[in-house]
Structure 1
Amino acid sequence: MAHAFVLLHSPVVGPSTWRPVAERLLRAGHDCVVPDLRHVAQAGPPYWPAVVSTAADAMGQLDAPGPVVLVAHSNAGLLLPAVAAGSPRPVSGAVLVDAATPADPGPSPAAPVPLLELLRTLADPSGRLPVWTSWWPDEEVAGLLPDPRARATVVADQPRLPLDYYEQRFPVPDSWRTLPTAYLRLSEAYDEDEARARAEGRPVARLTGGHLHAVVDPDAVAAAVVDLATRLTGRG
């Protein structure tokens, strides 16, 4: 049976990080939408309500009736509890893809202390951060996105977030604890989140790649997301 997916990208990058996977899901007969969260950078604090409202509005583009499966990558994992609570449609489950796991109990800090300290050194005098790919050496970015065309697309798609986006905390409503969730690990940086999911008895899958493997191998990521969603919801 087909699923209806809502693919959430980290607000520090753009929807191009999910579009290749969305195309595969649509071809496979699933319904899918990728809310564009780039404007969140202009919303002003607190920023998370803009994510919730944008995701809710995007669900109106889905053709399939019934519940949705939320799928979040990277920092968007921390936004899942609020998005699920604010969804206009029932949420049957959530898949975290190389994503930060929400705090239990909440709220969730938007960034760990070491990252926040780094970002404070990168912000310009107006408090605006450079685009995400410029936080890291060029060779690291090229390793994440070996195809030059794909890399150029992702780089051009990025907003410049304000530093105070990373100084906020995201709510974790009680309803999050009862929502079925699964974890798809793509890179070593998220081994601890994967281990936590395993320890909690949640469905887990692992692909060997980098943090942006959804761009590099969208077929594998799409297949893994569908498998985890099916395990969560029992709809196969």
Structure 2
Amino acid sequence: MPGRLVHPPLVGPAVLQPLAAELHRRGHTVAVPDLRAAVATAAGWPGRWVGAAAAAGPAEVVAGFSGAGLTLPAVAVAVSARRVVWVDAVLPTGTWPDERVRAAVLAEGHRLPADLYDVAVPVPDRWPDHGARYVHLSPAYDAAAAAARARGWTVVGDGTGQHLDVATDPRRVADLLG
């Protein structure tokens, strides 16, 4: 599967390197671009993020982890992906769900511009949502997995693992990617 793994804004590509290594071991070509510079300032970050994710060229499959899920439709369009996979990830909805949750996540993460989440992430009118797949790793993403299922997407995984299984159990996650 020629693909692209997209890390979330709060952490860098190292979180996905174990999964990328496992996919490479299985014969897949996968790029994990470093997108951290795209969130150095809030204004315009979605466009910079998508541009940086697309810089490595086309990809058949785009898989995003955690907060990267917000950007997946735009990244998929930019790389001409035919398939999009959310890996225990936030689904694009246009708004941040709970201000208390947002504050807790920001408190634990690396420094980001305070207004990063005030910038709307555009979702293209057309993106490869046919055959979209959601990988449900942890209970924290039960609602996102249910929403993906309600959209008619294939949902794999039972949500009983850990959110960071992409780093701590890459074989399991690679199996779920299919």
TM-score of the superposition, structure 2-length normalised? 0.90
Counterpart CA distance in 1 for 2:65 and 2:2 is: 17
Q: 1:81 aligned to 69, 73, 79, which one?
A: 73
- Deviation of the 1:44 alpha carbon: 4.4
Matches within 5 A, 1:129-144: 132=109
Counterpart CA distance in 2 for 1:114 and 1:161 is: 16
Structure 1 vs Structure 2 CA RMSD: 2.1
> Which has the higher mean CA deviation after the structures are superposed, 213-222 or 203-212?
203-212
Matches within 5 A, 1:194-233: 194-207=145-158, 208-225=160-177, 227=178
- Deviation of the 1:211 alpha carbon: 1.1
- Count of aligned residue pairs for this structure pair: 177
Q: 1:95 aligned to 53, 65, 85, which one?
A: 85
Going from structure 1 to structure 2, the CA distance change for 1:42 and 1:31 (only over 3 Å counts) comes to: same
TM-score of the superposition, structure 1-length normalised? 0.69
Going from structure 1 to structure 2, the CA distance change for 1:117 and 1:15 (only over 3 Å counts) comes to: closer
- Structure with the higher helix share, 1 or 2: 1
Going from structure 1 to structure 2, the CA distance change for 1:23 and 1:102 (only over 3 Å counts) comes to: same
Counterpart CA distance in 1 for 2:88 and 2:102 is: 22
1:40 equivalent in alignment to 2:38: yes
Following TM superposition, the consecutive aligned residue runs of length 4 or more in structure 1 with deviations greater than 6 angstroms are none
Counterpart CA distance in 2 for 1:96 and 1:117 is: 20
SS at match of 1:82: helix
Is the CA contact (8 Å cut-off) linking 2:41 and 2:112 kept in structure 1?
no
- Deviation of the 1:187 alpha carbon: 0.9
Q: 2:53 aligned to 31, 52, 55, which one?
A: 55
**Sequence identity percentage:** 38
SS at match of 1:175: coil
Which residue pairs with 1:113 in the alignment? Answer: 98
Q: Deviations over 1:26-64 (max 9, x none)?
A: 11110000011111222441211111111111237xxxx
Going from structure 1 to structure 2, the CA distance change for 1:10 and 1:115 (only over 3 Å counts) comes to: farther
In structure 2, the gaps of 5 or more residues are none
Counterpart CA distance in 2 for 1:39 and 1:99 is: 21
Tell me which structure has the larger Cα radius of gyration. 1
- Deviation of the 1:222 alpha carbon: 1.1
